[in-house]
Each structure stands twice: as structure tokens, then as C-alpha cells.
Amino acid sequence: MAEGMTSADQRPQGASIMEALVLLKTGLPRLPDHLQDQLTKHLETFNHLLKEIHQNIQEHHNQVNNFLKQMEKYNELPRSQTIELQPSLLRAVKEPESPKAPQLAECPQRPTDTGDPRSSDGLHQALGGDRMLPCLPHSQEPQFWNETLTRELFRLFVHCFNWEETAQKSRGNSVLGPSEEQEEEEEEEMLTLGKKEESGARAPFLKLLTWDSEDFEDTWDRTGVEPGRSKRFAVPHKVEKMRVLKHGGSVLSAAVSSFSRHAFTCSKEGIKVWSLVGQVAEDRCPESYLRPVTQTQEALASSRGCPSLGTCLLSSDNTTLLAGGRNLAGVKLWDLSAPSLYLKTELPCPGLTCQALTAKMEESLVLAGFSEGVIRLWDLRDRSMIRDISCHPNGARSLALMNHRLWAGGMDANLHCWDLRVPGEVRSLQFNSQIMSLSLNPQGDQIILGLANGQHWLQPSTGGPAHMVGSKGGTILGVKFSPYGQWWVSVGTDDMVTIHTLPTGTKAFQVLETSCINCCTVSSNNRLVVTGSQDQATVYQITY
């Protein structure tokens, strides 16, 4: 084989690179001298790096071969040598403190684990070291192949937050290692972990929700994003069903906080608070349950009718949860910024049934629409009522507030607009069906309307005619714009979660659920959609 090799095969790799450089120079006669010099330097540097990589790989191979030779050496120990070691080994275990112990008793014992991560030889000694291997019985395989390394690493991991306690427990150990009690505890911990992993692997669509800040940062090379625009303004690329929240009753309203990583589902009986952290495919255990009234208040209010909730709202700063309903003394506000949930205040509205809520927390302004044909404004600083706005009964089923303009839609099939700085209604727009839900584009220039006949209408907030942008196969019960105004989600009696894109209302995605969907919302980070149906809420994750 060596005689058949050509001179080109025997040249070093560096020589071929330099020859390629000469050919490159002759092939590019028009290349300026300074560019040729730069190209030469870059190729020489590249050649040098390739040589270093080749040397490192060769050194790694040598180390692996040496290790394998050492292991073969220990595995081929003569049986007679191990038999002679057995009595001495037993005496060393029975009499660890005897000065007359044979010389073999000085074989380095397995020290206790001090848990010091800075110690470079602690793990090596804990594993027995090189000199411990001849002390093994011939009938046993080397401990390295019995996953001693895995066991020790797992023990260090389990006790990483309790180093001192681990060291105290192991100080009384014998020469050969930890006590039997410790080993049983470690085996139980490993079995418990294995059972958890096996049970978790069987869960359907079991996947962590995306919360990393990297996922929310702007990238400029995303598909579906126009040149020079962030992925925040892109059309969703994929919708994944991540979690089901078993509320146990019809979910009338929902909210989600990407700041505290919680979802809120509202039914007549109360609001359940769900943590969205961790791997849970189906959650039946909420963190908290916020009832409309206490048991004492419920007993006192039984004569007036059973108190119930109908809607909830999360403030734009994610610090306050608002809720209203029927037969309540007022609109309730829970503080989410405190260490534990508590009722912060209550805005009085006795005898009124709340259907919709909106707020402008930076101006301490809260508004509520009531089925009795009243829209009430409060000042949060002193809980005082600012004014009442009259409208058609059930004419304020849905509210939206932008700057000083208030929009309301309801069962009278009219879209009403008020300027809060002046008295009286600014304008009213008639549609061909009841307005079941509306949502204001965060850009402030459009309002999307969901009608009872299944049509979507886009109304410019600055004036001008509305135009239809798509439809659904049933009554629309909820619509919600994304935080950056490039798409909206729509739900209703067709059991479909539909994502529509601007400007034409094209359907980007449709997801079928098992029952009528009452409400929907989108998280402020533009990544989560939560829907509420007959007995549960569903969390979807948006991918761009």
C-alpha cells in the first residue's frame, strides 16, 4: 500500500492548502495586492487552526486508548490475587481502628462526601480511586461499570443544598463506603425519580410553556415577517394546545398574566387561579379560589338572590384583577402584586348586573357596563363614582377604552362612542346583528366586532365606513386583538378557535374544541391564547 501511494497522497495537508493559495493567486490576476495579502493571512490562520484541531483530536484518541488499556488491565487480574485479598478485606471491615491490621487495610478508604464542589479529587476518591479496584472480589464487575459514577453524581445532585447534613450522616461510615441505610435512601430517591419520569412521559402534549426572554426578543430573519419588522408583528406560524384547566363549571370570562404566569377563569361561582409553571397537561387543582362573597355575606344576601360573577378583567399592568356580576354590592378588585391574594377594594354598584369591564389604571379609572342600560365610571383613588352614562338596556355587553374615547356594543346592534371629556354621545353606528363582543386594536385605529350572525366587522375608530372581514359558522361570543394588532382570535358556538389576520380577515388557524366556546383572551407577551368553554379553559401557545 505504501509503495502504491503517489507523491500527492504523501504531502501534508498544509502543503495542499498553500498550493491552493498559489493557484488562487494565479487565477485572480486582477485582485489588488492588499486584498491578496489579507486573503493569504486568513488562509494561513485557517490552516494553523486546522492543525491545532487535528492535534487535539489525536490527543483525545490517545487518552481514550490509555483508559481502555487500564480497564483491561484491572479486569484481567489473576483470581489467586483476589482470593488472597478477601480475608484481609474482611478484617479491615471488622477492625477499622486496630493497629495490628494488615498492610492492606491502608488501602485508601472512601472518604465522606463534604460536598465541596471545588475539590478536584473528592469525586475520584469517592469512586474508590485507582487503588481501590484490585480490592474488588473477582466475581464482581468493576464498580465503574455498575454505574457507580451515575449513583454518586445523583447523590451529589440530591444533596447539593444540604452539604453539611450529608457530611454529618456519612462521618460514621465504614472503610468501604456509606452505610446501608444511606444506600437504601439513595435507591428510593432514584426509584422515585424514575417513576416520575415514566409517568410524565405518558402525558399527552406534555410540554413546558415558553417563558424565556429569548423567545420574546426581536429577530429579523423570521419567515413570515416583512423585511425590517420584528417577529412581534408577524402572523402566527403555529398554534399548540398546551394545557387544559378543569374549572368544573361554564367559564364565562378568562384572563392570563404573562408577568405572574397565571391564568384566571371566571364562572358564576367564582374565579379560579391557575399556575402555568411546570409540566401539567390537565390541571384540576387551582392555586386559589376567589368567591364573589364570603359565606357570611352569602347568607345575608340570600334574600336578594344568589350572588354570582359574570366577567373578569386583568389590568394592563398585571397588578389588579377586577370582577363583577349579579346581586353583588360592587365591582371587586384583588391585588395581585401582594405576596398573597386579597380583596383590595370594592367599587359600589348595588342592584346592578355587571356585564363588561374596562380600566385605565394609569389614570385610576374603572368603567363597568350593566344590563340595566348604565355605564358607570369610578375614580380608584377614593372609590368615588365620577358619572353614569345611559345607554340601551343590554347595550353595553362589551366595552373598549382608548385615550378618552369609550366604545360600547350590545344587544341593540349599535356601536356607541363617547368622549369622556364632554357630555353626550359622540356617535352611534347601526349593524345588521347584535354585537356580542368587540376588541380595540392596540394601535388605536380599528375596532373588531363579533356579531350574533357570525360576521366580523372592522370599524375605523377615526371614522369612515365599516367593512366585513370574514365570518364564522355560528354566533361569535368573543373576539380579542393581539397586543400588536396584526391578528385577532375569535370564538363562538361553532366550537372553533379561529385566528384571523389583518387586513382582510384571512383565517390563519382553526382549532376544534369539544363544546361551545364562551370567551377568549391573549397574553400581553403575544404568546398565549386562553379560551373558556362549558366546563374548562384551554391554554394555547403561539409560535412565530
Q: What is the pLDDT of residue 43?
A: 80
pLDDT in tens, 374-394: 999 999 999 999 999 999 888
Percent with pLDDT over 90 in the chain: 43
Among the listed ranges 73-87, 422-436, 463-477, which one has the minimum average pLDDT value? 73-87
530 pLDDT higher than 90: yes
In contact, 520 and 478? CB cutoff 8 Å:
yes
- Rounded to the nearest 10 degrees, the angle between the axes of helix 33-75 and helix 13-27 is 160
pLDDT winner (highest mean) among 60-64, 219-223, 253-257: 253-257
Rounded to whole angstroms, the Cα distance separating 459 from 402 reads 14
pLDDT of residue 122: 40
Residue 341 contacts residue 290 (beta carbons within 8 Å): yes
Q: Residue 42: its pLDDT value, please?
A: 80
pLDDT at 257 over 80: yes
Q: What is the pLDDT of residue 159?
A: 58
Residue 288 has pLDDT above 70, yes or no: yes
Whether the per-residue pLDDT at 104 is higher than 90: the answer is: no
What is the CB neighbour count within 10 angstroms for residue 250? 17
Which of the two residues, 220 and 387, has the higher pLDDT score?
Answer: 387
Model confidence band, residue 73 (pLDDT cutoffs 50, 70, 90):
confident
Under the banding of pLDDT at 50, 70 and 90, the label for residue 62 is confident
Residue 321 has pLDDT above 70, yes or no: yes
Amino acid (one-letter) located at 32: P
Host H or E run for residue 50? helix 33-75
DSSP string, 277-328: -S--SEE---SEEE-SS-HHHHHHGGGT---EEEEEEE-TTSSEEEEEEES-
For residue 497, give the 3-state DSSP assignment. Answer: strand
Q: Which residue has the higher pLDDT, 8 or 67?
A: 67
What is the pLDDT at residue 339?
82
Q: Per the structure block, which three cell numbers stand in for 254?
A: 378568562
pLDDT of residue 488: 96
What pLDDT is recorded for position 407?
95
Greatest alpha-carbon pair distance for the chain in Å reads 108
